[in-house]
């Protein structure tokens, strides 16, 4: 009888937990009532991830940053346990349009001015604050707009001073990919020339670990360089090397968010 009672109680507890937990950490997978329930159950944090629509050589799809930002932010949110993820911002600063500069020199890249990107971040933050989130986390998969993320968070915090709601710019998300991940690849015997800064071994491997369908394997071998939008050698790339970056980005970002939320301001 005692075992039977414990079994029934366990089933009831599991059922209650299943009802309380949202079916996804992705905001746009949820209904408004599911978001409301998550807020009422203690979800205090929402991540606003920025991606980008840009060229990454002839072998990586234009949406690389958007897919990586969504997947990695989702894993970070799941690890935190009290966090949801807003839709990825796919339209970001990528260079001048007329005349084209930076990634805009390659077909398919989409760019918006810094001011438009910043205004969108701030409007999203205000919307999520209105919904009931008290920690709005800004992070980005692209190096070119990190200063805009930082400034948007700073301006939102000035606006929200004394309200108990805070914006957090998490530099560790990009720093983990740009510093710790590169160091880990060097530890595997790869040179800086191979690792590269754009669409080389680091970038390609990280993408393979997230979604291999984004990488055109028939275009990875051969000569690469600035003319085709590549800085580095994608030849040695593998999903196993990319997993090093995934693990570092998730663990370091989770730690940084927890630290930032705990700080008194």
User: 124 forms bridges with which residues in the sheet?
Assistant: none
Domain residue limits, the chain: 24-262
pLDDT of the residue at 9: 45
What average pLDDT does the chain have?
92
24-262 carries CATH number 3.20.20.10? no
Q: Which two tokens stand for residue 228?
A: 């085709």
Regions of the chain where pLDDT drops below 50? 1, 3-6, 8-9, 11-19
pLDDT of the residue at 8: 45
Count of residues for the chain?
A: 265
pLDDT of the residue at 20: 58
pLDDT of the residue at 186: 98
Strand locations in 82-189 (E)? 83-85, 135-140, 166-169
Q: For 231-242, how does the pLDDT look when each residue is reduced to its tens digit (9 = 90+)?
A: 999 999 999 999
pLDDT of the residue at 16: 45
């Amino acid at each position: 009888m005692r075992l039977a009672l414990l079994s029934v109680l366990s089933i009831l507890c599991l059922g209650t937990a299943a009802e309380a937990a949202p079916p996804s950490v992705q905001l746009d997978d949820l209904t408004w009532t599911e978001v409301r329930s998550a807020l009422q159950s203690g979800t205090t944090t929402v991540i606003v991830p920025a991606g980008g629509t840009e060229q990454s050589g002839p072998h990586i799809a234009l949406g690389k940053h958007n897919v990586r930002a969504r997947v990695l932010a989702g894993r970070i949110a799941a690890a935190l346990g009290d966090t949801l993820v807003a839709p990825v911002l796919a339209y970001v600063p990528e260079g001048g349009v007329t005349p084209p500069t930076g990634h805009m020199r390659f077909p398919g890249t989409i760019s918006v001015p810094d001011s438009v990107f910043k205004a969108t971040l701030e409007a999203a933050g205000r919307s999520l604050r209105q919904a009931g989130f008290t920690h709005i986390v800004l992070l980005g998969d692209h190096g070119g707009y990190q200063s805009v993320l930082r400034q948007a968070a700073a301006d939102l915090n000035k606006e929200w001073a004394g309200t108990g709601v805070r914006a957090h710019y998490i530099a560790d998300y990009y720093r983990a990919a740009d510093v710790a991940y590169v160091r880990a690849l060097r530890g595997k015997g790869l040179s800086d020339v191979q690792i590269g800064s754009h669409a080389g071994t680091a970038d390609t491997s990280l993408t393979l670990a997230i979604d291999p369908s984004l990488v055109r394997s028939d275009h990875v071998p051969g000569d690469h360089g600035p003319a085709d939008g590549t800085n580095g050698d994608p030849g040695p790339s593998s999903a196993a090397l990319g997993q090093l970056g995934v693990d570092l980005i998730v663990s370091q970002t989770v730690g940084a968010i927890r630290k930032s939320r705990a700080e008194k301001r």
